Structure 1
């Protein structure tokens, strides 16, 4: 039975239920099956041995998600190849590609949870009522141990960019 966490988050002030566990620092990051594009799938093991910042957004076509993705794209360029930056949403691959090309996003790996929702369930960010992934930040070390996690309480709030980036820099 899949765990449900009611009352831990809101979407525009309305309570929502998150499906899946709440990951904590020190947890082993769960694997997932997710799409790179319409047909090609990826999993956590595809990024083995890399430090990863995973930025989870409900939809790239919203102002906060747009800002979050642009901010991490800029930071990824500053850090070079020391870490990989991944944005995950449930947007269709076509929408992700369009967003990246028009916004000049060239340092983020965009993955979509639209088909299976296994990332959302494994990381405890799947919003049951909306079938979107709740905004969150995860930083995993090269061994896929969670080193930083931020689950946003309100879907429309910005994450703590500086705290996440400071945690990432400590691993590099």
Structure 2
């Protein structure tokens, strides 16, 4: 039960983190950023968010089915794009639910710890601006990550590039 709760918190945190980066994706020039590399602040805080309404039965069975084959990962997003990200969100790999993290000011980072199912090779995330509008969503291949995945958001007043760093 405790593992289930921790995984649920992790999932919620990851989704929230993705939503937070939405603000960085505002582009005054109207450029679109790649969905594979779009947003990433580095972790200076650990953020835990509460999950959306999820059926206890489906949540528990999903966690039990993947609890045997997991790896510990730290997911981080670093905002270096010169603007505030309204919300970062991630998709919980166990439940498939979106987890919303807090907003992320410029020069700050957010991170979360998770027991990531080894069979899941992609990390899905999204960034929302301060008005709550979806700005960027992406999928990052995390198959080469051993312990840490960092999304570094860069730009000068706009989200221009997302660098993916793995450890």
TM-score range, shorter chain: under 0.3
Higher helix share: 1
Higher relative CO (CA 8 A, sep ≥ 6), structure 1 or 2?
A: 2
